[in-house]
Structure 1
Amino acid sequence: MEMKKRISLELRNRSPAEVAELVVDNCRSSDGEVEGLTDEFKELEFLSMVNVGLTSLAKLPSLPKLRKLELSDNNISGALETLSDKCPNLSYLNLSGNKIKELSSVEALQNLKSLRSLDLFNCEITTLEDYRESVFELLPQVTYLDGFDQEDNEAPDSEADDEDDEEDGEDGAGPTGDYDEEEEDDEEEEGSEGGEVGLSFLMKQGAQDEEEEDDYAEEEEEEEQAGVRGEKRKRDAEDEGEDDDDDDDD
């Protein structure tokens, strides 16, 4: 897709003055120049034109609020002074993977007084002897070159730090969480087994109690019946005795 058409699509019915971030990576510049960008993008703070076939920045419009510019994997070899004129507040510039070979090309960035981070990784200039020392000397305002300062301390990346924190949190809490879940699962299994055993025991105990009650009731009933029979036999015997006495009187 052509850069001009891509920029038109990225606007999404907004006016250029409403756009603060614009990404047109992997589209195509027909003649190696910036196309479709105008001075109307006056509020633009972040612009990414990665792998779009740029060979020149001559047609870059004035972008006074631009702070971050991604130009990696293009064919830019020099004429970087345009950036000082068009993007005076630039603080981050990524030119990795371009055709920059000489320190003189980098020297053109001296007027970017707000420039703090410059990336020239995978450019031929990085093969020069004392490359890092020379660039830091030419651009004293730059703190990080290719992601590291002069003491080889890595540049902070808030997004990467956030991801690392999330991963650390997951890694740190993961084993504990897994362990707790396993313990809870074990406890639940034990509890369920214990519950089943307890329930079975109660059911059996209840059945035994019922059987004992039934046996006790049967015994009581038998005793009562035996008592009744005994009382009846006693009365029968008394009656027989009275009958015998009457016979003797006669």
Structure 2
Amino acid sequence: MEMKKRISSELSNRNPAEVVELVVENCRSSDGEVEGLTDEYTELEILSMVNVGLSSLSKLPKLPKLRKLEVSDNIISGGLDTLVEKCPDLTSLNLSGNKIKELSSIETLQNLKNLRSLYLYSCEVSTLDDYTEGVFELLPQLTFLDGYDQEDNEVPDSEADNGETAFNRKS
């Protein structure tokens, strides 16, 4: 199913401004861009676009209340500055399984002051020497990277359960 059609079917006669959580997984983006999502989704707090063929987030609309963005298993390699401009309140970002190769690709995330949880496992960048230290140094606002804090403690269940700062860790 195409992403536009999937978003439309997920709406099921609701006004986009009423939608708080939107899950459009395993559908297809025809050109590697976000399709069918508009600035009308003003109340959207949680957005999941897993495995939809995204190569870019440049057409992501302004989502001022978005706190949690799940875009794992796509082909995104950079262009994350869009998130700073369009999703300034993001607290949790899952980029696992994308084409992020260098720490410089995530440098712009420094400007997401509320970002607490970032997932990059199964990205090439996670194989770099000093990956964990490098990310925490680059993004001092982070509490968790790939489900663990700087002392290698797992995300507490209390935070994982409420979904505000953690995604379920995939093994």
Residues 140 and 45 from structure 1, CA distance in 2 versus in 1: closer, same or farther, beyond 3 angstroms? same
Q: One-letter code of the match for 1:73? A: D
State the Cα deviation string for residues 209-243 of structure 1 (Å, max 9, x = none).
xxxxxxxxxxxxxxxxxxxxxxxxxxxxxxxxxxx
Deviations 1:174-214 (A, max 9, x none): xxxxxxxxxxxxxxxxxxxxxxxxxxxxxxxxxxxxxxxxx
Structure 2 equivalent of residue 107 of structure 1? 107
Question: What TM-score comes out, normalization by structure 1 length?
Answer: 0.63
**How big is each residue's C-alpha offset from its partner over 1:1-59, in whole Å with a ceiling of 9 and x where there is no partner?**
00000000000100100100000000000000000000000000000000000000000
In the alignment, the residues of structure 1 paired with residue 121 and residue 43 of structure 2 have an alpha-carbon distance, to the nearest angstrom, of: 29
1:110-151 deviations in whole A, cap 9, x for unaligned?
Answer: 100000000000000011110000000000000000000000
Please give the alpha-carbon distance, in whole angstroms, between the structure 2 residues aligned to 1:111 and 1:118: 14
CA change 1:107–1:160 in 2 (3 A) is closer
Equivalent in the alignment of 2:142: 142
CA distance in 2, matches of 1:3, 1:138: 33
The higher radius of gyration belongs to: 1
Aligned residues with identical type, % of pairs: 78
Match of 2:166 in 1: none
Instruction: For 2:144, give the aligned amino acid.
Output: Y
Aligned residue in 1 for 2:168? none
Which residue type is aligned with residue 5 of structure 1? K
Q: Which structure: greater helix fraction? A: 1
In the other structure, the counterpart of 1:124 is 124
Q: 1:130 to 1:160 in 2, by over 3 A?
A: closer
2 CA distance for matches of 1:3 and 1:36? 7
Amino acid at match of 1:137: E
Number of residues of Structure 1 aligned to a counterpart in Structure 2: 162
TM-score, structure 2 length as denominator?
Answer: 0.92
Question: 1:73 and 1:159 mapped to 2: Cα distance?
Answer: 23
Q: Larger relative contact order (C-alpha < 8 A, sep ≥ 6)? A: 2
Q: Which blocks of at least 5 consecutive residues in structure 2 are unaligned?
A: 163-171
Task: Report the alpha carbon displacement of residue 156 of structure 1 after superposing the two structures with TM.
Answer: 2.1
Q: Which runs of 5+ in 1 are unaligned?
A: 163-250
Report the aligned-residue RMSD: 1.3
Shift of residue 106 of structure 1? 1.0
1:88 CA drift (Å): 0.1
